[in-house]
C-alpha cells in the first residue's frame, strides 16, 4: 500500500514536471519531445486509475499519433522560427492568476466529493449480459451510448474533410504531402517490411478482444494507422490520392454499417441503435471491425495532411 502510494506520488510529480516543461521549454522541438514522454506517463496514470481502455487510447493517440503530428509540424516550421513576440509581463500575470483560479476551482470540486458517490456501474453491469459483451466500456460505447459513438465517427470524417479542404485548388484529388520526410534508408525499409504483419495481427487482436476485455476499435484503428504510416514513410507504398473511390469507401464503411445496423434496429428491435436480442454481440463485433478499418484510414490520412500535388495520370 505504501509502495503504491509512493509510486503514485512520484508519477504525479513526474507528470506535472514534464507537463510544465512542455509549456516552459524554449524550443518547440524540446516541448514536443516532452509531450510525447508526458503522454506515455499519462497512460500509466490511467492504468493506476483502473482504466485500461483509456490507457491504451491515451498511449496510442495522445502520445503516439499526436506526437508524430507535432514532430512533422515542427520540422516544417523550423525554418520560420524566431518569432520574437513575447507576451508582456502583466498579461502573463493576469493569465496566471486566472488559470490558478480555474485550477483551484477544479481542485475544490475534486476535494469535496458528494457524500454518497453516485455511480452507474451496477446498472451497466446488470444490463451488459443482454448484449453478450464482457467489456463494460465497450457496452457503454456500443450499446447504451451508441449515438455518441456513431456521431463521433462523423466528427472524425468532418475533421478529415476540414484538413483536405486546406489543399490548393490545383491539388484537389491528389496526393497528401505526408509531413515526415526521411531519406530512403535501408533500416527503415527493413522495419516497414517486418513490423506491419505483426502490427496488423495486433490490431485485429485488439479489436477482437475489445468486446470482452480492454481494447476495441479505437485502439486497433490507431495501430493500423501507425503501420500504414510506417509503410508510407518508408516509401514502400505510395500515399494514395484522396480522390480514390476505394479510399473514400474505406473511410465511411464503418459509420455507414453502424448507421445501417442502427436503422435496421428501428424495424427489427423496436428502436434506433437497438440490437435484436441474441444478435447483439455479432452485430457489435461487425461494427467494431468496420470501424477499426475506417478509423485506421482516417487517422492515417489526418496525420498525412492535405493533398499537395495533383495526381499524375
The residue among 9 and 238 lying less far from other proteins, judged by its C-beta, is 9
CA angle 295–160–172, rounded 5-degree value: 130
The residue among 226 and 285 lying less far from other proteins, judged by its C-beta, is 226
Residue 61: CB minimum distance to other proteins, A: 5
Residue 250: CB minimum distance to other proteins, A: 9
Residue 285: CB minimum distance to other proteins, A: 17
The residue among 217 and 285 lying less far from other proteins, judged by its C-beta, is 217
User: 300 with 60: CB under 8 angstroms?
Assistant: no
Distance between CA atoms of 107 and 103, rounded to whole angstroms?
6
Distance between CA atoms of 28 and 73, rounded to whole angstroms?
10
The residue among 94 and 238 lying less far from other proteins, judged by its C-beta, is 94
CA angle 100–102–106, rounded 5-degree value: 115
Distance between CA atoms of 242 and 239, rounded to whole angstroms?
9
The residue among 74 and 211 lying less far from other proteins, judged by its C-beta, is 74
Residue 45: CB minimum distance to other proteins, A: 6
Residue 286: CB minimum distance to other proteins, A: 17
Residue 237: CB minimum distance to other proteins, A: 18
User: 254 with 299: CB under 8 angstroms?
Assistant: no
- Quote the cell numbers at residue 160: 478529415
Q: What SS3 class is residue 239?
A: coil
Residue 20: CB minimum distance to other proteins, A: 6
| Dihedral sign from CA coordinates of 255, 257, 259, 265 | negative
The residue among 101 and 238 lying less far from other proteins, judged by its C-beta, is 101
Distance between CA atoms of 45 and 49, rounded to whole angstroms?
6
Residues 6+ apart with CB under 8 A from 256: none
Distance between CA atoms of 208 and 214, rounded to whole angstroms?
10
CA 312 and chain centroid, separation: 32
The residue among 103 and 238 lying less far from other proteins, judged by its C-beta, is 103
Amino acid at each position: 500500500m505504501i509502495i503504491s502510494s509512493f509510486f503514485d506520488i512520484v508519477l504525479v510529480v513526474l507528470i506535472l514536471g514534464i507537463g510544465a516543461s512542455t509549456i516552459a521549454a524554449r524550443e518547440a522541438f524540446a516541448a514536443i519531445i516532452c509531450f510525447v514522454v508526458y503522454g506515455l506517463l499519462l497512460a500509466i496514470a490511467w492504468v493506476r486509475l483502473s482504466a485500461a481502455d483509456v490507457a491504451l487510447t491515451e498511449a496510442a493517440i495522445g502520445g503516439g499519433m499526436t506526437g508524430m503530428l507535432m514532430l512533422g509540424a515542427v520540422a516544417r516550421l523550423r525554418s520560420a522560427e524566431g518569432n520574437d513576440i513575447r507576451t508582456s509581463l502583466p498579461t502573463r500575470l493576469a493569465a496566471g492568476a486566472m488559470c490558478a483560479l480555474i485550477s483551484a476551482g477544479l481542485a475544490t470540486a475534486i476535494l469535496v466529493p458528494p457524500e454518497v458517490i453516485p455511480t452507474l456501474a451496477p446498472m451497466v453491469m446488470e444490463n451488459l449480459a443482454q448484449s453478450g459483451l464482457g467489456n463494460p466500456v465497450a457496452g457503454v460505447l456500443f450499446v447504451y451510448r451508441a449515438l455518441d459513438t456513431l456521431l463521433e465517427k462523423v466528427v472524425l470524417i468532418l475533421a478529415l474533410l476540414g484538413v483536405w479542404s486546406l489543399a490548393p485548388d490545383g491539388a484537389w484529388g491528389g496526393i497528401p504531402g505526408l509531413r515526415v520526410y526521411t531519406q530512403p534508408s535501408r533500416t527503415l525499409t527493413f522495419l516497414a517490411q517486418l513490423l506491419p504483419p505483426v502490427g496488423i495481427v495486433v490490431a485485429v487482436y485488439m479489436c477482437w478482444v475489445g468486446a470482452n476485455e480492454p481494447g476495441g476499435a479505437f485502439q486497433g484503428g490507431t495501430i493500423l494507422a501507425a503501420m500504414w504510416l510506417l509503410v508510407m514513410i518508408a516509401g514502400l507504398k505510395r500515399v494514395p490520392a484522396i480522390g480514390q473511390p476505394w479510399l473514400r469507401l474505406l473511410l465511411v464503411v464503418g459509420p455507414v454499417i453502424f448507421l445501417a445496423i442502427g436503422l435496421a434496429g428501428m424495424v427489427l428491435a423496436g428502436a434506433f441503435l437497438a440490437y435484436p436480442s441474441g444478435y447483439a454481440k455479432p452485430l457489435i463485433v461487425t461494427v467494431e471491425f468496420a470501424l477499426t478499418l475506417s478509423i485506421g484510414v482516417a487517422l492515417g490520412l489526418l496525420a498525412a495532411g492535405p493533398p499537395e500535388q495533383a495526381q499524375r495520370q
